[in-house]
Amino acid sequence: MVRAGICVSCGACVALDAGGASRMRTTPRGPLPQFAPDTRLPELAWDACPGKGIVYPALYRAHYGKLPESWLVGPLLVVRTGHAADPAVRAKGASGGVTSAVLIHLLEAGLVDAVIVAKQGVPTPLEASPVFANARDQVLAAAQSVYIPVAMLDALARLEPGKRYAITLVPEQAAALRWLQTQGDARALQIAYVLGPYTGTALYPAAIQTFLRSQRVPRSDAVTSLQWRAGEWPGYLEIRTEAGRVLRSKKIYYNFLIPFFVTQASLQSMDFANEFCDLSVGDAWSPKFEAEGGGHSVVVTRSAEMEAIVARLVADGTLALDTVDPLGATEMHGHMIDFKKRGGFIRNGWRLALGLKAPDYGIAPESVPTSRKAVEAVVSGLFVVGRTGLARWIVAQIPESVIGPVFNRLRLGWKAASKPTKRKGLGNLRMIETVRDPGRE
Binding site for ligand SF4 (CB under 6 A): 1-2, 7-13, 33, 49-51
- Please identify, using beta-carbon distances, which residue of 118 and 175 lies nearer to ligand FAD: 118
Q: How many CB atoms lie within 10 A of CB 430?
A: 9
- Please identify, using beta-carbon distances, which residue of 50 and 96 lies nearer to ligand FAD: 96
Residue 143 contact, options ligand SF4, ligand FAD, none, Cβ 5-8 Å cut-off depending on partner type: ligand FAD
Residue 210 contact, options ligand FAD, ligand SF4, none, Cβ 5-8 Å cut-off depending on partner type: none
Minimal CB distance residue for ligand FAD: 200
- Please identify, using beta-carbon distances, which residue of 136 and 245 lies nearer to ligand FAD: 136
Residue 99 contact, options ligand FAD, ligand SF4, none, Cβ 5-8 Å cut-off depending on partner type: ligand FAD
- We find the least distance from the C-beta atom of residue 36 to ligand FAD, in angstroms, to be 25
- Please identify, using beta-carbon distances, which residue of 42 and 68 lies nearer to ligand SF4: 42
Residue 175 contact, options ligand SF4, ligand FAD, none, Cβ 5-8 Å cut-off depending on partner type: none
Q: Return residues touching ligand FAD (CB under 6 A).
A: 93-100, 117-118, 142-147, 150, 152, 168-170, 197-200, 202, 281-283, 297, 333, 336
CA distance 384 to 391: 10
C-alpha distances in angstroms, 361 versus 53, 59, 64, 194, 276? 5, 10, 17, 21, 14
CA distance 379 to 61: 33
- We find the least distance from the C-beta atom of residue 51 to ligand SF4, in angstroms, to be 3
- We find the least distance from the C-beta atom of residue 440 to ligand SF4, in angstroms, to be 14
Residue 96 contact, options ligand FAD, ligand SF4, none, Cβ 5-8 Å cut-off depending on partner type: ligand FAD
- Please identify, using beta-carbon distances, which residue of 59 and 152 lies nearer to ligand FAD: 152
- Please identify, using beta-carbon distances, which residue of 40 and 423 lies nearer to ligand FAD: 423
- Please identify, using beta-carbon distances, which residue of 245 and 335 lies nearer to ligand FAD: 335
CA distance 440 to 3: 16
- Check if the beta carbon of residue 80 is closer than 8 Å to that of residue 324: yes
CA distance 141 to 44: 34
- We find the least distance from the C-beta atom of residue 367 to ligand FAD, in angstroms, to be 25
- Please identify, using beta-carbon distances, which residue of 15 and 217 lies nearer to ligand FAD: 15
CA distance 75 to 81: 17
Q: Following CA atoms 159, 161, 164, 168 in sequence, which dihedral angle do they give, to the nearest 10 degrees?
A: 10
Residue 73 contact, options ligand SF4, ligand FAD, none, Cβ 5-8 Å cut-off depending on partner type: none
- We find the least distance from the C-beta atom of residue 170 to ligand FAD, in angstroms, to be 5
- We find the least distance from the C-beta atom of residue 234 to ligand FAD, in angstroms, to be 8
Residue 10 contact, options ligand FAD, ligand SF4, none, Cβ 5-8 Å cut-off depending on partner type: ligand SF4
- Read off φ and ψ for residue 427, nearest 5 degrees: -55, -30
Q: DSSP per residue over 29-78, as a string?
A: TS-EEE--TT----HHHHHH-TTT---HHHHHHHHHSS--S-TTT-S-SE
Residue 93 contact, options ligand SF4, ligand FAD, none, Cβ 5-8 Å cut-off depending on partner type: ligand FAD
- We find the least distance from the C-beta atom of residue 165 to ligand SF4, in angstroms, to be 19
CA distance 203 to 260: 9
- Check if the beta carbon of residue 157 is closer than 8 Å to that of residue 138: no
- We find the least distance from the C-beta atom of residue 273 to ligand SF4, in angstroms, to be 20
CA distance 25 to 33: 6
Q: Helices marked H in 331-399 — which ranges?
A: 334-338, 345-353, 370-386, 389-397
- We find the least distance from the C-beta atom of residue 413 to ligand FAD, in angstroms, to be 19
- Please identify, using beta-carbon distances, which residue of 41 and 189 lies nearer to ligand SF4: 41
Q: How many CB atoms lie within 10 A of CB 322?
A: 9
Residue 147 contact, options ligand SF4, ligand FAD, none, Cβ 5-8 Å cut-off depending on partner type: ligand FAD
Q: Which of 310, 290, 312 is nearest to 302 (CA)?
A: 310
Residue 51 contact, options ligand SF4, ligand FAD, none, Cβ 5-8 Å cut-off depending on partner type: ligand SF4
Angle at 153 between CA 147 and CA 159, to 5 degrees: 130
Of the chain, the end-to-end C-alpha distance in Å amounts to 13
Could you give the 3-state DSSP secondary structure of residue 128? strand
